[in-house]
Amino acid sequence: MRTSVPTTGSDGSSATSHVPIYLNVYDLTPMNGYVYWIGLGIFHSGIEVHGSEYAFGAHDFPTSGVFEVEPRSCPGFTFRRSILLGTTDLSPQDFRSFIEAVADNYYGNSYHLLTKNCNHFTNDVCCLLTGKEVPGWVNRLAGIGLFCSCLLPESLQVPAPSSSDESKEGSEHKLKRSLTTLSDSIVENISSKEDAESEQDQDHQRLLSTPNGGR
C-alpha cells in the first residue's frame, strides 16, 4: 500500500504534499490479452489516492454507485496495470470530501454502458484533480460503441438505466455480458473486414497468374 509523506504546515498542523494519483486498470475478460495490443479491450478502472481505491459501479437504486476497495484488488476483475496520473496536495480528509462530492453525480442507477461507466468516473476525477484526462485506450470501446451505436445489434443499444425490475439478473453480470457482446461485435467486424481484404488480394493474385491467350 502506498503512503504519502507527511509535512508540517506554517500553523503547525499536519499536511500532505504531492500525494500520487494512480489509475488502476483491470481486465473484464480474458479476450483483452488478444485485443489490448491493437488498442482495444474491455476495462474497469479505479482511482487510487492515500492508500485507497475508488470506483463506480451499477446498481438499481438512486444512491451513490461509488465504492472503496483495497488498491489493485477490485473483486470480480483481473488487475492489469497501474498508471501514475499526477499528484494532489489534498489531505486524506479533504480527498474523502472531494470524492463524496463527485459521487453525488454518480448514482448506481445512472450507470450507462456507453455514456456513464466506471471509466467516465475515473476520467472526471482525474480532470478535476490534474486537469488531464486518463489514457484514451481505457474507455475507447465505449467511444466506438457510442459513435457506431446505430450500427450495433439491438441488444447493444443500451437504454438509460431505471429502477424497474425487468430482469432478475445482477447488475454486474449484465454489465459484463453487455461489454463482452460489444467487444465481440467490434472484433468480428474487424475480422470480417480483414477477411474481405484477404479475399480481394487472393483474387488479384489469381488474375496476375492467369495465362494470357493461348500461351
Question: Could you list the active site residues?
Answer: 44, 118
Number of other residues whose CB lies within 10 A of the CB of residue 41: 23
β-bridge mates for residue 19, sequence order = 88
Phi, psi torsion values for 212, nearest 5 degrees: -90, 130
User: How do 43-49 and 19-27 pair as beta strands?
Assistant: antiparallel
First vs last C-alpha separation in the chain: 77
CA 162 to chain centre: 21
Number of H helices, E strands in the chain: 5, 7
